[in-house]
Structure 1
Amino acid sequence: MQALSKYLAVSFLLSALTACQPGLEDAENHLRDGRWQEAQQTLTQVLQQEPDSFEAQVLLAETRFYTEGLSAALTALRELYAQEPEHPALQRGLKALKVHFVALDELRESKDAAALQRYLDEVPNDFLAERVRWLLYRKTNRQDQALLSSLARSQDPLLQQLVAWEQAREAPERFAELLERFPDSPFCFAWYDALTSLHWQQERPAEAHSLLVRWKGELSDRDPQKAHVLLKQAEYSTEKQPAAALNYYQTYLRLFPTHPAGRQTIYTVREDFKERLGTADHRWLAEAAHERYMYQTAYAELSQVPPRSLQDHWQLAEYAMKAKYYPQARQHYETLKQRYPGSQEAGLATVALATLQRLNKAYGPARQQLAAARSAYTRQPRVQAAALWEEGILYDLQNKDADRARVYHQLLELDPEYEHAMEALWYALWHDYRQRDYARVIRDLTRFARYYEDHSLKPRFVYWLGRSHEALEQWDEAEAAYRQLENNPLMDYYTHRARARLKVLKQGGDDDYATTAYTGYQREVATFPSYAQAFEAAVKGDALALSPLQELLLLGQTPEFMQLASLSQEPRWQVLYGLQLQREGRYYDAVTRYRYLATKDDVYLPAAFPLAFFDHIESEAAKYQMNPFLAAGLIWQESQYKPDIQSWVGATGLMQIMPATGQQIAAELQLTDYDLTHAETNIQMGVWYLHTRHKTFEGNSLLAVASYNAGAGPVYRWLKQFGHLPYDALAESITYPETRGYVKHVFTSYWIYQHLYGRSGG
């Protein structure tokens, strides 16, 4: 076959290496002729005489691939690579061996079973032969039992497990044998799962529960598999052991606050156990719901618990407030004031009552309530800070920016550890920045740095610290600030802004939010592995490159891989899981699963940012000389690539087009019959509409994106009010919080798409 012929050609090149060394030349001849044992004996003798001969060590490692298998060869090759990774002899040896893995990859992709059979006649070692036999078995639709029986005699641990797994599919009770035979297998999760389900289906609950206890005992508290086990235990206990089921659910919700099944679990408990829930159950359910931002559910559960202490009353009032149950919140705050006068919580309740008046647009009474709180609780700094925070909001509603900054400076002096203190710092310093009081911005950000060290606003603070230094022409200090941000996760808007400013500091030029010139895209930013790639990575020390889970994918066991990867803590398997979701067209599932993980680690970006429908996006954007990555970023923000998604106000499809707007666009594009949930149609209409926003604002993408969200009218107002500011400051000054966040998110997504897939990089 072609790949094997290449191998012979590469091996022949080694003769140049050995021509002047008779022992090596003999070994090379044996190697080229397929006399592996003779080559190994010769090389062993050479190394006894010349133990430091790197060339002989390379040839011996290559020979061991044929005589002892891949594992032995890899052990030797890793040691050699660690010593001299670029040594010509090593590179030639690796190239010679890689040819076999390239051939294996060609066979994996081939639909020709005869080609697999022919390869078996010339395959050089058992590692390759057994994987080809497995591929051949799969290509016969798993019907060749004789072939499976021959594979059962394999000495390869992976093939032993795959064959046993395959046989257990026909006789599921054999999964118990697999767990005993391979107790440390990475596949145990799937076997435990299959066997417990079998016991349950066969109405053997004792065996199912016993196996779940054994399984759980092998897992750490935070292992995602444990979440799966706890949910199974709860499900299997619900009918006959409801108290135990509730305990399993409670443990699950406590240990796994971010697990995707958490919210549904709370709904399940409330529905299935509503007649059995006691006071303690209502409390932990309330806290679990609150932790998952299910505020209405949290209040509903906590209201079932009679309040007996100051903290009980306070928690109940706060839950009602967060649930936007304002009448109930008012009642709870009033009760708290009456029962616990003079306490800090009573003072905070007074401020909360002012907040309720402000929400009802009773600004005068709200201000009076705040004045009363500050007068009555002079020795309660937390109450004073809360009152100042609320007073600042009232000033903001009256467009009194200077007054808001003034009271927030007071708040910071009084209680910099107050829960909203860092938000107050932002509003105060942003007022000062727009007033060009850059020295004060620098002074305050430096002074309060320890308070925002772990705060979500830190990147924003550091960025505007850098911009303030720039304004004062303190170039080194500005660069130092941006350097703090440039390697942060790319999901952070300020990472990109810092990189842009560093580029301006180094090269000059403009920083105006203009999209870069589009020069095409590269689709394979993250790929499914091949055997050839895995071999190279394994030589370099990658322990996962040829691991059992990796080979599941390589050998076409995709469903099995997906089952195991879904609960893995290893980022590589998670990313491959996400890429497989994309391959299946499940873009929304991939985005929603990985978007939050990507905020912590860039490794998840390829899984979280699919290049979905991109050929159509590209062709539509080309009509208007638009960078298609901007449209891709906007789609990511609008719909997470779910074609039939619909918002509560009726916006529909990938680019979230309102029905009335859709009618106008359809008329312009002469579309007589259209469906906003049809991906290509929605892209056609949405890209055209984004183009019209660019035309309205003379090609400025920042203003076009803001207008896509808020309409042209508000953008004209912001231009009039803030048009004198640099574009990054203009984006920060957008008065609609939703649009301000929208612009940042769309541009962050655009920059990520450009970084991941743009041919010219990010």
Structure 2
Amino acid sequence: MPKRLQHRVRPLQLILLLSLGLVALVAGLFWSGRRGGEEFPPQADDSDAVAALSLGPSRQQDELERLAEGPASADRDRAAYLLAVQAIADGQPDEAMARLDPVRPRSSHIGGYILLAQAQAQNLAGNDAEAQDLYQQILQDFPEDPLAAEALYALGEQDPQLWDQALAEFPRHPRSAEIALQRLETQPNDPDLLRVLSTHLYLENFTELLDRRVSQHRERLTPEDWETIAFGYWEKTLYGKAGNAYARAANTPRNLYRTARGLQLGGERNRARQRYRILIQAFPEAEETATGLLRLAEMVDSPREAIPLLDQVIANFPNQAAEALLLRSQMLGELGSSQSAQQARQSVLTQYSNSDTAAEIRWQNAQNAAQQGNLRQAWDWAKQLLTENPDSEDAPQAAFWIGKWAQGLNRRDDAEAAFTALLQRYPESYYAWRAASFLGWNVGTFTTVRSLTPTVRDLAERPRLPAGSDLTRELYALGMDEAAWRRWQMEFPDPMNPTVAEQYTEGLMLQVIGDYLDSLFMLSSLGWRDDPEELAEYEAFKAEPAYWYSLYPFPYREPILRWSEARQLDPLLTVALIRQESRFMPKIRSVANAVGLMQVLPETADWIAAQRDEAPPTSLTDPDDNIRLGTLYLDYTHNEYNNNTLFALASYNAGPGNVDRWISRFSFNDPDVFVSQIPFPETQGYISSVMGNYWNYLRLYNPEIQEKLEQIRDE
């Protein structure tokens, strides 16, 4: 994983509507390799065949037929293949074979696809012998390519030895996982089958398979096996199990750190402290040791014990010295050394002025000054933060409050300039929405947003895969998403240590199989790196609109639009809430038993349906049924609070009783102040996350706001 990513823990793991909705996918159909030697044609992204896929259904069909009937070319082969795929999906094998007949597999850059499609069409037509011959030709022409796993899978249904070959030669291919799962039904504890499945993190029962491997074969597992198992647990956020597994892996800095951190998160504090000390002693100069020292300093029994640990960080790890200094100041404060504590905080500002920790101190100072009524001083601290720490997490918030405080100081021109600068510098921030609202843009306020009906355009941008082979990129560009994902499983060289491009590609590929939960985490954590070259690569991706579409996808578009209209809710508010609640995972279930896309409690679904005289829930894991009842309840929470979306969201998250108490306690003179006063950090974060999502969907999918942002970017 990236340098920082290996230390961080996922939140509710934190893109593009990957399926173009134009080409039906047939499982296992889209795999190929090259015989080698022939030059690969220009990228499919720029081809006429891909351009045809962006047309409406009837025009798309006409354009693909025109290309397929044209002279021999890469685009002719692509169009013929896409039409054949559609014919197979429609149960028309003769049509598929006729489409593929002009294409010569041995001279086509997608020859493997052609052979596999021909085999599938022959199977569909009942010509099993012809299909078998085509699969054998694939094995002969592409023996080492992932395409061979598709052929071995098909042929192995009659010859089990060929399934053995697939498991041995292509263990990371999804077809091998299918084979292993089938065999596991009769051999539930087979060690070799469980070993193969230990790398297929996308499986729904993945953690159960890891548990079984550990419980049944603990004594025969190697350190390498334990590291694979630990990585799987870590990725699934089972940190306690991950820590215990990493404890049996080889002693590397990362493994030792994750052992300690996993045990700490799993509640085994004494063992965690012991492991942090082992890390510190074994690898005193490793980057992980700096983080380990900081973690240990927070866990020891007294401030006096913590200070020497922090001094080690300050002396030996300049990149994390600022954080250690701030912790040191807190420890000194607990010991009653207020002057020394203040000196330590001041050292952060003078010696590490550009650090995130310095930004944190400046923002605390700004908030303290504002609470004391000294808006000028608060404004000065926030301005200093923007100057010294423009890339910190606190910068967008500081930029917004510069505008708010300028208003309080009757400096309206300065306020307008601050809000405009925020939109230019931090257009993806929740605070950009608040700034746009203050500037009078048609983006709604907390009291008007529910009833807005913004235009929601169809998705127009799809990213190019930044990693993967030419064939994988070809498949993805042609809308053959599942095929691209299958090939990528064989091409992803080191999932534990991905490059920026590989992590981005993995994030896109996870959406292909509907795993938005892990996908959005991979994409949102792309910048958790320290290396300047990697950060520059991330910034280049971030500058492209396609990255943001991948980070704010719009699956389940039709039911979201339909049910939002039925409830008179802004559809972008609905999708924003779904992204926060479930990350678009329809079967997800919380510890409180909230279910599905909008995390609806079964008893709440029954109650609200009865209240509104609607049909009771049929299945809350069904996207349409969940959105039907979730929007019904969101409408109810809005009605309860006079269409105030701030209160409605707070009620959705924390319950109406808490919201009523907060309203009584804090009043509602200023919504931004009200949010900052909510005593539940989770609810504070929930409101800013949902409305931040809302803003990003608005700026990406609404042409009016897109145009306004383009205008101020050009100023």
Give TM-score, length-normalised by structure 2. 0.59
- After superposition, where does 1:187-198 map in structure 2 within 5 Å? 189-191=146-148, 194=151
Query: How many angstroms apart in 2 are the aligned matches of 1:726 and 1:751?
Result: 20
Moved more, 684-693 or 479-488: 479-488
Partner of 2:268: 325
SS at match of 1:735: coil
Q: Indicate if the aligned counterparts of 1:639 and 1:655 stay in contact, CA closer than 8 A.
A: yes
Match in the other structure for 1:203: 161
Which residue is 1:690 aligned to? Answer: 634
Deviations 1:619-653 (Å, cap 9, x if unpaired)?
A: 4313xxx4343233223322344555432112234
> Which residue in 2 is equivalent to 1:163?
114
C-alpha distance in 1, partners of 2:507/2:228?
A: 34
- 1:18-167 equivalent positions in 2, closer than 5 A: 106=58, 109=61, 125=71, 135=83, 141-143=92-94, 147=98, 150-153=101-104, 157=108, 160=111, 162-167=113-118
The question of 1:483 aligning with 2:421 is answered yes
Change beyond 3 A, Cα 1:297–1:689 = same
Q: Deviations over 1:140-188 (max 9, x none)?
A: 83247984784245897357554334356623232244438xx9xxxx5
Q: Is the CA contact 2:638–2:645 (under 8 Å) kept in the aligned structure 1?
A: yes
Aligned to 2:709: none
Give the match for residue 524 of structure 1.
458
2:396 & 2:435 partners in 1: Cα distance? Answer: 9
> What are the ranges of 5 or more consecutive residues in structure 1 without an aligned counterpart?
1-70, 79-93, 214-225, 338-342, 355-368, 396-402, 530-543
Asked if residue 493 in structure 1 is aligned to residue 426 in structure 2, the reply is: no
Q: Which amino acid counterpart does residue 739 of structure 1 have in structure 2?
A: T
The amino acid of 1:525's aligned partner reads L
CA distance, structure 2, for counterparts of residue 101 and residue 667 of structure 1: 44
CA distance in 2, matches of 1:306, 1:390: 35
Q: Which amino acid aligns with 2:138?
A: F
Does 2:448 correspond to 1:514? yes
Helix, strand or coil: the match of 1:460? helix
Structure 1 Cα separation of the partners of residues 238 and 346 of structure 2: 34
What's the CA shift for 1:234? 12
Describe the shift of the 1:310–1:633 C-alpha distance in structure 2 as closer, same or farther (beyond 3 A).
closer
Report Cα offsets for 1:325-359 as digits up to 9, x if no partner.
Answer: 3465588899999xxxxx999998575245xxxxx
RMSD over equivalenced CA pairs, Å: 6.5
Note the alpha carbon deviations across 1:716-756, whole angstroms, 9 max, x for none. 44445544663234323322111111111221233344445
**Which of 164, 169, 173 is equivalent to 2:136?**
173
CA contact (8 A) 2:666 2:677 kept: yes
CA contact (8 A) 1:592 1:608 kept: no
User: Which one is further off, 709-718 or 462-471?
Assistant: 462-471
**8 A Cα contact 2:555 2:584, kept in partner:** no
Q: What are the Cα deviations for residues 290-336 of structure 1, in whole angstroms up to 9, with x where unaligned?
A: 577432023323555899x9999998665433222346558889999
**Counterpart of 2:580 in 1: which secondary structure?**
helix
Counterparts of 1:310 and 1:166 in 2: how far apart (Å)?
Answer: 48
Structure 2 counterpart of 1:430: 367
**Amino acid of the structure 1 residue aligned with 2:563:** I
The CA deviation string for residues 638-687 of structure 1, in whole angstroms up to 9 with x for no partner, is 23445554321122344333344445434422458544626555545443
Task: Give, in whole Å, the separation in 2 of the partners of 1:409 and 1:374.
Answer: 18
Change (3 A) 1:508 1:210: closer
> What SS does the aligned partner of 1:163 have?
helix
Post-superposition Cα deviations, 1:553-581, rounded to whole Å, max 9, x if no partner, equal 4xxx7764664578797999999978977
1:515-563 deviation digits (Å, cap 9, x = unpaired): 175346446234899xxxxxxxxxxxxxx9xx9537854xxx7764664
SS at structure 2 position matched to 1:203: helix
Aligned match of 1:651: 594
Residues 519, 759 of structure 1: 8 Å contact kept: no
Secondary structure of 1:751's match? helix
CA contact 1:620–1:683 (8 Å) conserved in 2 = no
- 1-side partners of 2:103 and 2:678: how far apart? 67
Counterpart of 1:726 in structure 2 is: 670
CA 1:124–1:705: 2 relative to 1, 3 Å: closer
Partners of 1:331 and 1:474 lie apart in 2 by 57
Paired residue secondary structure (2:136)? helix
Cross-structure match for 1:51: none
Task: Report if the CA contact (8 A) 1:633-1:753 is conserved.
Answer: yes
The answer on whether the counterparts of 1:620 and 1:684 sit within 8 Å (CA) in structure 2 is no
Q: Structure 1 residues 288 and 151, CA, compared in 2 at 3 Å: closer, same or farther?
A: closer
**What is the CA–CA distance in structure 1 between the aligned matches of 2:59 and 2:307, rounded to whole Å?**
82
SS of residue matched to 1:151: coil
Higher helix share: 1
Residue in structure 2 matched with residue 18 of structure 1 by the alignment: none
Q: Which of 603, 612, 627 is 2:549 aligned to?
A: 603
Instruction: Determine what percentage of the aligned residue pairs are the same residue.
Output: 19
Q: Supply the distance in 1 between the matched residues of 2:69 and 2:310 (Cα, whole angstroms).
A: 86
Tell me: higher relative CO, structure 1 or 2? Use CA pairs within 8 A at least 6 residues apart: 2
Q: Secondary structure at the match of 1:275?
A: helix
Partner of 2:570: 627
User: Which of 217, 238, 245 is matched with 1:294 structurally?
Assistant: 238
1:386 paired residue among 327, 331, 341: 327
Q: 1:740 aligns with which of 649, 666, 684?
A: 684
How far apart, in 2, do the equivalents of 1:206 and 1:643 lie?
A: 35
| Separation of aligned partners in 1, 2:584 and 2:258 | 39
Q: Return the alpha-carbon distance in structure 1 between the equivalents of residues 194 and 210 of structure 2.
A: 11
Q: Distance in 2 between matches of 1:312 and 1:524?
A: 45
Q: Which residue of 2 aligns with 1:42?
A: none
Partner secondary structure for residue 102 of structure 2: helix
Q: Match for residue 123 of structure 2? A: none
Output one character per residue of 1:189-215: Cα deviation in whole Å (capped at 9) or x when no partner: 4346645996997537997699669xx
Q: Deviations over 1:664-717 (max 9, x none)?
A: 434422458544626555545443433343344333211221122112343344
Cross-structure match for 2:519: 593
Matched residue count: 580
Query: 2:374 is aligned with what amino acid?
Result: D
Q: Kindly state the Cα deviation for residue 477 of structure 1 after the two structures are TM-superposed.
A: 8.4
Separation (CA, whole Å) in 2 of partners of 1:390 and 1:620:
56
Residues 65-95 of structure 1: per-residue CA shift (max 9 Å, x gap) = xxxxxx99x99xx9xxxxxxxxxxxxxxx9x
Is the contact made by 2:194 and 2:213 (CA closer than 8 Å) also made in structure 1? yes
Instruction: Report the residue type matching 2:161 in the other structure.
Output: E
The equivalent residue for 1:30 is none
* Residue aligning to 1:708: 652
Kindly indicate whether the alpha-carbon contact (under 8 Å) linking 2:598 and 2:626 is maintained by their aligned counterparts in 1. yes
1:451-483, Cα deviation, whole Å (9 max, x unpaired): 856654444344445544555538458736853
2:421 maps to a residue whose letter is R
Partner residue in 2 for 1:14: none
1: CA distance, partners of 2:695 / 2:392: 24
TM-score normalised by L of structure 1: 0.56
Report the structure number with the largest CA radius of gyration.
1
Question: Where in structure 2 are the equivalents of 1:148-297 lying within 5 Å?
Answer: 150-153=101-104, 157=108, 160=111, 162-167=113-118, 170=131, 171=133, 172-179=135-142, 189-191=146-148, 194=151, 203=161, 270=214, 273-277=217-221, 293-297=237-241
